[in-house]
Amino acid sequence: MQFMLLFSRQGKLRLQKWYEAHPDKLKKKITRELISTILARKPKMSSFLEWRDLKIVYKRYASLYFCCAIEQQDNELLTLEVIHRYVELLDKYFGSVCELDIIFNFEKAYFMLDELMVGGEVCETSKKNVLKAIAAQDLLQEDEIVEMALRDMGLI
């Protein structure tokens, strides 16, 4: 996978993950171009788009579009499953996720994606394992906060 974009029906970018290096300017151009192309597509059209030398796979979940750019030899039907898996994970984590969850906790959404995929490749196929890893890392952060508070109060 070359990159993944999440954007709203209004065309606002909600998350971007690039696995190929591009200058910022190009990233913005690509994002703009894809958002407008995809938003202009009718609902009865297929989820695939041939774009430059890549295949774009996108799917809409409520008000959010999930859009992935994959290479020619990649499996577009499976990419839909990857997107779905990501949505399921977010849903489990936030408890029926909505766009606002992703806006206000965008960093958490990134963390989740990073546990599912590294460098554009799926690296964990078990939902349980992903959620376990995220929970453990969240716990690490909480421990640090408690520790800091205790230190501030001079208790340790």
Residues at the contact surface with other proteins, assessed by CB under 8 A: 13-19, 21-24, 28, 44-48, 73, 75-78, 80-82, 85, 103-104, 106-107, 110-111, 114, 118-129, 133, 136-137, 140-141, 144-145
Asked if 70 contacts 4 with a C-beta cutoff of 8 angstroms, the reply is no
User: Closest approach of Cβ 38 to other proteins, in Å?
Assistant: 13
CA dist 68 and 30 (Å) reads: 12
User: Closest approach of Cβ 81 to other proteins, in Å?
Assistant: 5
In the complex with other proteins, which residue's Cβ is closer, 91 or 124?
124
Q: For residue 74, give every residue at least 6 positions away whose Cβ sits within 8 Å of its Cβ, in sequence order, or none.
A: 1, 55
User: Closest approach of Cβ 100 to other proteins, in Å?
Assistant: 9
In the complex with other proteins, which residue's Cβ is closer, 96 or 141?
141
User: Closest approach of Cβ 51 to other proteins, in Å?
Assistant: 12
In the complex with other proteins, which residue's Cβ is closer, 42 or 95?
42
In the complex with other proteins, which residue's Cβ is closer, 77 or 153?
77
